[in-house]
Copies of this chain bind each other. A is one copy, B any other.
Amino acid sequence: MNILVTGACGFIGSKVANSLSDFAEITTIDNCTTGSISNLPTNTIFIEGDCQSSITIEKLEDKEFDIIMHIAGQSSGEISFEDPIYDLQTNTQSTLMLLDYALKHRCRKFVFASTMSVYGDGHTDAVSEQSELNPKSFYAIGKIASENYLKLYASYGLQTTSLRLFNVYGPGQNLENMKQGMLSIYLSQLIKSGKIVVKGSPNRFRDFIHVKDVVNAFKRIVSYDENGYSCFNIGTGRSWMIQDVLDMLKDIYGKEFPIKYVDKTPGDMEGVFANITKAVSLLNWQPYIEFKDGFANFVSWGLDKNVH
């Protein structure tokens, strides 16, 4: 089986690519802006470049893939406000280029890394895949457009799936990027300065999912054969307040640290958490890692990484 994984040097993409390389031949693309080549699986054909560029697409040399997993893209809502045009190109135009390639080269299945950001605010209950979309960032708007393209290509016979990832965390997350990943930002601050600056209210809430559980969802899609377009929430179904997360971090860290609250970032969401019934029933998938365990393990990894 031939699988193309984009964003394969990044946090999620690299773990997906490595996991799939156990049973498939993996081709990878990454522009290496935030990810590292050292994260790639061994024996992969690697193409360095942007997926929104025809130069990169041409380097695929008309190779036919069974599955394309498009995970590449700028992944911070906050950063999307700094360069909305780049965000549109990296998150939306890239999808269009790859869907076009998929259709022309008889690819069977296209999997897209979408985001809980598409839901925006105004949801007090867990959001299901049918919940209203109220995008609050350029990032979220571009992801919705990409999902709409997936629906359109499904009408041409391509199987397309969007995985709406909630707050993903875990070992391997980039501790140098201070604008992406709520938990990795807190952890990085704690390691570097022994204190934490929280952008926004402690009453916001999130659904944190461990990257291993996310990788399992991507693997499930390999054997999920349903025609048309489908969309799944990939979260845990549990909501955590930022205040509780910080308390938990104090327990894990073993001592007090100062916390400063400042204004929230543009487009930041009040909160959202997932109804995962659909993924559980149709993908036979479920998250295994309890947040308390996963978070403790993640913090240990970060502290340990800093020592060595």
Residues of A whose CB lies within 8 Å of any CB of B are 84-85, 88-89, 92-93, 96-97, 100, 135-138, 141-142, 144-145, 148-149, 151-152, 267
What is the bound-complex CA distance between A136 and B148, given in angstroms? 9
Q: Does A141 contact B149, Cβ atoms closer than 8 Å? A: yes
Q: A84-B100, A93-B85, A96-B85 are in contact. Are A144 and B148 (CB under 8 A)?
A: yes
What is the bound-complex CA distance between A22 and B135, given in angstroms? 39
Q: How far is the CB of A204 from chain B (nearest CB, A)?
A: 18
Chain B residues, CB < 8 A from A85: 93, 96-97, 100
Q: Does B100 contact A145, Cβ atoms closer than 8 Å? A: no
Closest to A84 in B: B96
What is the bound-complex CA distance between A55 and B145, given in angstroms? 26
CB<8 Å pairs between A and B, sample of 12? A85-B97, A88-B88, A88-B93, A88-B96, A88-B145, A89-B93, A92-B92, A135-B151, A136-B152, A138-B152, A142-B145, A145-B145
Closest to A96 in B: B84
Q: How far is the CB of A264 from chain B (nearest CB, A)?
A: 13
Q: How far is the CB of A77 from chain B (nearest CB, A)?
A: 11
Q: How far is the CB of A135 from chain B (nearest CB, A)?
A: 6
What is the bound-complex CA distance between A152 and B136, given in angstroms? 6
Chain B residues, CB < 8 A from A92: 88, 92, 145
Q: How far is the CB of A99 from chain B (nearest CB, A)?
A: 8
What is the bound-complex CA distance between A138 and B84, given in angstroms? 20
What is the bound-complex CA distance between A137 and B144, given in angstroms? 14
What is the bound-complex CA distance between A63 and B136, given in angstroms? 29
Chain B residues, CB < 8 A from A149: 84, 138, 141
Q: How far is the CB of A34 from chain B (nearest CB, A)?
A: 22
Q: How far is the CB of A158 from chain B (nearest CB, A)?
A: 14
Chain B residues, CB < 8 A from A141: 145, 148-149, 152
What is the bound-complex CA distance between A141 and B96, given in angstroms? 11
Chain B residues, CB < 8 A from A96: 84-85, 88, 138
Closest to A137 in B: B152
Chain B residues, CB < 8 A from A138: 96, 149, 152
Q: How far is the CB of A57 from chain B (nearest CB, A)?
A: 11
Chain B residues, CB < 8 A from A148: 135, 141, 144
Q: How far is the CB of A149 from chain B (nearest CB, A)?
A: 6
Q: With A135-B148, A137-B152, A142-B145 given, can you name 15 additional A-B contacts, CB distance below 8 Å?
A: A84-B96, A84-B100, A85-B93, A85-B96, A85-B100, A88-B88, A88-B93, A88-B145, A96-B138, A141-B145, A141-B148, A141-B152, A144-B148, A145-B145, A152-B267
